A = this chain, B = another copy of it.
Amino acid sequence: MNIVVAGLGIIGGSLAKAIKKYTDNYVYGMNRSHEPLEKALECGAVDAKGDQEVLGKADILILGLYPEAAVEFVRKNGMYINKDCVVVDTSGIKSEICPQMEQLSADFGFTFVGFHPMAGKEKNGFDVSDADLFRNASAIIVKGNASDAAVERIVSLCTKIGFGRVVYTTPEEHDRMIAFTSQLPHVLACAYVFSPNCPYHNGFSAGSYRDVSRVANINADLWSELFIENKKPLITEIDTLISNLMLIRNGIEDGDRRELTKILHRAKLIKEELGE
């Protein structure tokens, strides 16, 4: 197959590297700035530079772009995309993106499948991309109007490049779950390091500090877009977290050790029930 990867950041770059490492598909790279593309060509993450002509013979187009930029890319280049092509985004939000993409796919004739590869790092850019970033990760798929054959083209690729499982969902369920599993940890990592004691943690900290604060090393541009475009589910999660923090806070203030133990033990039971 001819696979075009547009946007060679950590996600696009890692997908390109994985496809070259684990399959014999031909990979074209496209990137707004020059440098990542040159690096990708140099290290063999892509075989050649893509352009509008290449889009006309693509079997799969992977959009490794920020959500709105991905829609913009398709709006601008839709007329050049092969009508047999399956286009996937890699966005961390779906309700805002999928309907627009489906409209564009209807307008231009290609097929769109929503795709969210559940992996990342606390750093960004092609330099930290990694062919094995998706090893055992979850590939979330929003089928929408796509045919089974189109979805299978993506799922089969995911399996070959190391994803551990495929999860099918709707835009709404995706966004509600991602608000909890991914966006909320980013919000709270930022809020956490705002403590006036944070700059002095060295020597007083261990794994707990490291784990909670890790993703505070945030790509502020990207995540402010993701947060605002998923406003409702995310605010629901933040409000839920705050009210549960208050529950524990008030338990501490009351000072009734038995009551507080009961509250905390519920958390342990939730983790145990999940086998974690």
A interface, CB within 8 angstroms of B: 118-120, 137-138, 140, 165, 167, 169, 174, 176-182, 184-209, 211-221, 223-225, 227-228, 231, 234-235, 237-242, 244-249, 252-253, 255, 257, 260-268, 270-274, 276
DSSP majority for the A interface? helix
User: Which residue of the partner chain, among B204, B205, B218, B274, contacts A268 with CB atoms under 8 Å?
Assistant: B218
| Contact (Cβ within 8 A) A270 B167 | no
Most buried by B among A137, A195, A273: A195
The chain B residue sitting closest to A200, CB to CB, is B177
With contact pairs A180-B201, A181-B201, A215-B208 given, residues A267 and B227 touching in the complex (Cβ less than 8 Å): no
Which residues from chain B contact A219 at a C-beta distance below 8 Å?
Answer: 268
Q: A159: shortest Cβ distance to chain B, in Å?
A: 15
Which residues from chain B contact A179 at a C-beta distance below 8 Å?
Answer: 197
Which residues from chain B contact A198 at a C-beta distance below 8 Å?
Answer: 180, 270, 274
Which residues from chain B contact A248 at a C-beta distance below 8 Å?
Answer: 187, 190-191, 227, 238
With contact pairs A197-B177, A241-B191, A272-B217 given, residues A211 and B211 touching in the complex (Cβ less than 8 Å): yes
| Contact (Cβ within 8 A) B245 A191 | yes
With contact pairs A190-B267, A191-B241, A231-B255 given, residues A180 and B197 touching in the complex (Cβ less than 8 Å): yes
| Contact (Cβ within 8 A) B193 A225 | no
Q: A274: shortest Cβ distance to chain B, in Å?
A: 7
Which residues from chain B contact A238 at a C-beta distance below 8 Å?
Answer: 245, 248-249, 252
Q: A136: shortest Cβ distance to chain B, in Å?
A: 10
Which residues from chain B contact A174 at a C-beta distance below 8 Å?
Answer: 204
User: Which residue of the partner chain, among B137, B194, B201, B203, contacts A267 with CB atoms under 8 Å?
Assistant: B194
The distance in angstroms between the C-alpha atoms of A120 and B246, with both chains bound, is 26
Q: Given contacts A181-B204, A192-B241, A211-B212, could you give 16 more A-B pairs where the C-beta distance is less than 8 Å?
A: A118-B205, A138-B205, A165-B203, A178-B204, A188-B241, A189-B267, A190-B266, A191-B245, A194-B270, A195-B237, A217-B268, A217-B271, A220-B261, A220-B268, A224-B257, A225-B257
| Contact (Cβ within 8 A) A181 B206 | yes
The distance in angstroms between the C-alpha atoms of A199 and B192, with both chains bound, is 24
Which residues from chain B contact A227 at a C-beta distance below 8 Å?
Answer: 248, 252, 260
Which residues from chain B contact A196 at a C-beta distance below 8 Å?
Answer: 240
